Amino acid sequence: MIELSYEPIFVWELGAGILEWNRGAEKLYGYSRSEALGRLSHELLRTVHPEGVDNFLNELKKNGYWSGEVRHISKDGTELVIASRQQLMESHGRRLVLETNRDITERKIEEGLLERYRLLSERSPDIIWFTDPNGNFVDVNQSAVETYGYSRDEFMSLNIRDIRHPDTLTQFDEQLVEANSHSVQFETVHVRKDGTLLPVEVKANSADFGDQRLIMAIVRNISERKQREKDLRESEERRQLAQEAGNVGVWDWDIVAGKIYWSETMWSFYGEEPKEINPDEAFWSEHLSDFDRERVTQKLRRVVESTEDRYRDEFRIVRNDGSMRWIEAIANISRDESRTRS
């Protein structure tokens, strides 16, 4: 029966050597039956017990059995983590030990990797959590607890859907599929325990940890960034309103690149609709009044070629309908080693 088992099984006598050594043991440890018989198993496999060999033997003799994890070294020098079950038996006045072993090295490596992830996540200022493939929380770090207001135990009863804003759930299933298959990055909105909204950026990917597939997500609070973007939009809207109310046009001229930006109000001054063309110096010069063109262009060139940082002038322009308008132009000039911009 021992020989038919796929599991590594061998029999040894207390105070003596190995008496039986099956094919499963040959495959796992690399020693043939003839090499193993008669050898002390603890010496052959260089067994390391968590509490020492003496304590192991005392417990085995006292209870008649022992089970736990040990470390063995195979013939080729590979270190193995073994889940071992050992049963003490009496046979013809001899005290024999039936040892059944299972290689759990790969599982322990994966568990160690998961534990390292957890240790790193606890030290991270980012929100980090692990979920199963369905989105149920498996573990969260302290940053998640502090940010969302849920305890770890409360998180373990939740699914990611429970903290997503309802308006974002239409994208959830697709994002979960992508996280399960490879990796995904996206922005969304979460809801804290107290009901306040939390804009976040999520980076998630999946991996196998032992016999369990998990999704690890790094979640960053982007509230400040979103507020800055909102403030910028509002500022731009206020600037646009001020331009329209004050009849002020805005222009930007990258002289080296030859590119000019005109606001909508600037186009309206010239009686034109905003166009895809670049309103370059030649375009602008064509609209200058014949009375002002030479003076205005020379002054602008003189200021650009100088070290001055301010330009101001008044001139007349001729619109497409032939009407004339007076324009006051004011510009700040910025320079670096390669570019000049007004």
CB 218 within 8 A of CB 126: yes
CB 18 within 8 A of CB 11: yes
Q: Nearest to residue 166, comparing CAs of 140, 150, 188? A: 188
pLDDT at 307: 85
- 322 inside domain: yes
CB 289 within 8 A of CB 317: yes
Confidence grade of residue 39 (pLDDT, cut at 50, 70, 90)? very high
> What's the DSSP call for residue 9?
E
Same domain (yes/no): 149, 98: no
Mean pLDDT of 197-219: 86
Same domain (yes/no): 74, 14: yes
Q: H-helix or E-strand containing 159?
A: none
Residue 95: which region, alpha, beta or left (left: phi > 0; alpha: psi -120 to 50)?
beta
- 2 inside domain: no
Same domain (yes/no): 187, 116: yes
Domain encompassing residue 253: 246-341
Q: Which two tokens stand for residue 314?
A: 């008044």
Same domain (yes/no): 83, 36: yes
Q: Which domain-ending residue is among 102, 137, 158?
A: 102
Same domain (yes/no): 64, 17: yes
pLDDT at 5: 65
Strand partners, 214: 207
Out of 186-200, 211-225, 262-276, the most confident range is: 186-200
pLDDT higher than threshold 60 for residue 320: yes
- 233 inside domain: no
Same domain (yes/no): 98, 113: no
Q: Which domain-ending residue is among 163, 193, 225?
A: 225
Q: What is the pLDDT of residues 138-164, one digit of tens each?
A: 888 888 999 999 998 999 999 999 999
Q: How many structural domains does the chain have?
A: 3
Report the alpha-carbon distance of residue 97 to residue 197 in Å, rounded: 63
**DSSP of 42-59:** HHHTT-B-TT-HHHHHHH
Cβ atoms < 10 Å from Cβ of 155: 20
- 234 inside domain: no
Q: Which domain-ending residue is among 102, 130, 152?
A: 102
Same domain (yes/no): 156, 121: yes
Q: What is the pLDDT of residues 266-295, one digit of tens each?
A: 888 888 888 767 788 888 888 898 999 999
Confidence grade of residue 120 (pLDDT, cut at 50, 70, 90)? low
The alpha-carbon radius of gyration of the chain (Å, integer) is: 39
- 300 inside domain: yes
Same domain (yes/no): 271, 305: yes
Q: Which two tokens stand for residue 148?
A: 């969302």
pLDDT at 31: 95
Same domain (yes/no): 76, 124: no
CB 334 within 8 A of CB 341: yes
Confidence grade of residue 248 (pLDDT, cut at 50, 70, 90)? confident
Same domain (yes/no): 83, 39: yes
Same domain (yes/no): 34, 95: yes
Q: Which of residues 4 and 225 earns the better pLDDT score?
A: 225
Q: Which of residues 19 and 236 earns the better pLDDT score?
A: 19
Mean pLDDT of 112-121: 60
Mean pLDDT of 212-221: 88
The residue type at 209: F
Same domain (yes/no): 304, 330: yes
pTM: 0.43
Cβ atoms < 10 Å from Cβ of 215: 22
Can you give the CATH number for the domain in which 147 is found?
A: 3.30.450.20
Report the alpha-carbon distance of residue 311 to residue 301 in Å, rounded: 10
Mean pLDDT of 221-232: 85
- 236 inside domain: no
- 1 inside domain: no
**Residues near 171 by Cβ (< 8 Å), separated by ≥ 6?**
186, 188
- 240 inside domain: no
Mean pLDDT of 107-125: 65
Distances (CA, A) of 309 to 87, 190, 200, 249, 260: 92, 48, 42, 20, 18
